[in-house]
Amino acid sequence: MNDPNRTTITVGSVVQYLNLLNFDNYSNTELFRGQANSKRCLSPSIERFSKEADYIEYESINWKDLESLLLDSFKNESAPYMNFSPQGRLEWLVHAQHHGLPTALLD
């Protein structure tokens, strides 16, 4: 559905996105990522993972504990294959998510 009042802005980097957020002329603009429908709920992969039938044993674990459990396992298993060492939890999470680990980060 084409809305003549809607403007599409393509953003190529996080820096570009953050710069857009600082402009006053975009203050009334709806921003959404990765979805053609801005009304769709965005959820992190750890939420979807904890709800999948194959992973029912994780259903009672809160996201933070589940993420820690999975991240600790990822650190142990991936260390021999890495040529660098992530600095801090956030860098580990970004690296782990890049390789498919479900996290609470909303990509």
pLDDT of residue 7: 75
Per-residue tokens: 2: 């084409």
pLDDT of residue 26: 54
Asked if residues 59 and 51 have their Cβ atoms less than 8 Å apart, the reply is yes
Q: Kindly indicate the confidence band of residue 29, based on its pLDDT and cuts at 50, 70 and 90.
A: low
pLDDT of residue 42: 75
Q: Kindly indicate the confidence band of residue 74, based on its pLDDT and cuts at 50, 70 and 90.
A: very high
Distance CA 79, CA 73 (A): 10
pLDDT of residue 31: 55
Asked if residues 35 and 42 have their Cβ atoms less than 8 Å apart, the reply is yes
